[in-house]
Amino acid sequence: MISITLFGASGRMGRAIAEAATGRSDVGIVAEGGDVFVDFSAPDALQGHLDAALAAGKPILIGTTGLGAAHRRAIDAAAERIAVIQAANTSLGVNLLSHLVREAAARLSEDWDIEIVEMHHRMKVDAPSGTALMLGRAAAEGRGVDLDAAADRGRDGITGAREAGRIGFAALRGGSVAGDHQVIFAAEGERLELGHRAESRAIFARGAIAGALWLHGKPAGRYAMADVLGL
Ligand code: NAD
């Protein structure tokens, strides 16, 4: 049994993680001093949560989205001393989608435009979603575009993705949608569409718990959900 300390415990994701952990024998939620820290809160709170994990010498999974270049640098610095997973989306399906998008982008010529459309509930703060940016990054990597070189020019290299990879983003907000993402490859006369629909936050919660279990006992370093899921 490992214990998880949750940052953002009273939020939508925090409550979903607590619910997903209920009744499990391998994981429990504790108010402080857990074996692994899990953060689903807000970008402003990231540094404080990294500092808490560093002070305790415990690994941390960061699910918070809307992070910028300065946040990424802080995560890189923390990962020199503790194990860190930063994942804009912790679901198995989306991480597999990301893999498929990278493969498709690598095989299709630049005659194919890439457009990423996402829809979320009306309360979501950041747009495009962290997952849309993650998919854009995967598409850009497939095309051989170095987004890190452009990372300081926009959040998560979005400007770089738009300019260098010619990848477009559209964000819709409304109702209670947990998270829909569609990646459209469009050429003259044909379209290829890859997508994922999250029906509830439970899928992110289960993935976050899988990530926390995987992180326990791992050496310092920066990891991804792809490592957890063996993709
Ligand atoms: P929410 O608004 O329901 O909850 C946010 C929580 O963070 C609350 O408990 C709030 O008290 C806390 N919080 C906010 N600002 C804070 C601050 N400055 N300091 C300390 N605590 C603070 O949001 P949510 O829907 O639970 O989403 C939380 C984050 O997780 C968002 O960034 C969201 O995009 C992201 N998210 C990630 C995934 C994923 O799979 N990685 C899935 C869904 C949501």
Amino acid at the residue 91? S
Task: Say yes or no: CB of residue 38 within 6 Å of ligand 1.
Answer: no
What's the pLDDT at 152?
Answer: 45
Q: Mark the binding-site residues for NAD(+), compressed into ranges.
A: 8-13, 63-65, 87-90
Contact 164, 150 (CB under 8 A): yes
Residue-wise pLDDT tens digits, 219-230:
999 999 999 988
List, in order, residues 6 or more apart from 10 with CB less than 8 Å away: none
Is the per-residue pLDDT at 146 higher than 80?
A: no
Listed in order, the ranges of the chain carrying CATH 3.40.50.720 are 2-86+201-229
Listed in order, the ranges of the chain carrying CATH 3.30.360.10 are 92-198
Confidence of residue 165 (pLDDT cuts 50, 70, 90): low
Contact 183, 170 (CB under 8 A): no
Return the higher-pLDDT residue of 143 and 86: 86
Q: How far apart are CA 156 and CA 183, in angstroms?
A: 18
What's the pLDDT at 149?
Answer: 59
Q: The CATH number of 92-198 is which of 3.50.30.60, 3.40.50.2300, 3.10.310.30, 3.30.360.10?
A: 3.30.360.10
Return the higher-pLDDT residue of 162 and 189: 189
Q: How far apart are CA 200 and CA 205, in angstroms?
A: 9
Task: Say yes or no: CB of residue 8 within 6 Å of ligand 1.
Answer: yes
Mutate which of 40, 120, 181, 201 to test ligand 1's pocket (most atoms within 8 Å of Cβ)? 40
Task: Say yes or no: CB of residue 64 within 6 Å of ligand 1.
Answer: yes
Number of other residues whose CB lies within 10 A of the CB of residue 10: 9
Is the per-residue pLDDT at 160 higher than 90?
A: no
Task: Say yes or no: CB of residue 87 within 6 Å of ligand 1.
Answer: yes
Give buried/exposed letters for 29-42 (b at 16+ CB in 10 A, else e). beeeebbbbbbbbb
Residue-wise pLDDT tens digits, 36-76:
999 999 999 999 999 999 999 999 999 999 898 899 999 99
Catalytic residues: 120, 124
Q: Which fold has domain 2-86+201-229?
A: Rossmann fold (3.40.50)
Q: Are strands 221-223 and 83-86 parallel, antiparallel or unpaired?
A: parallel
Task: Say yes or no: CB of residue 211 within 6 Å of ligand 1.
Answer: no
| ipTM of model | 0.99
Mutate which of 6, 7, 10, 13 to test ligand 1's pocket (most atoms within 8 Å of Cβ)? 13
Is the per-residue pLDDT at 153 higher than 50?
A: no
195 strand-pairing partners: 182
Measured in Å, residue 177 CA sits from the centre of ligand 1 at 16
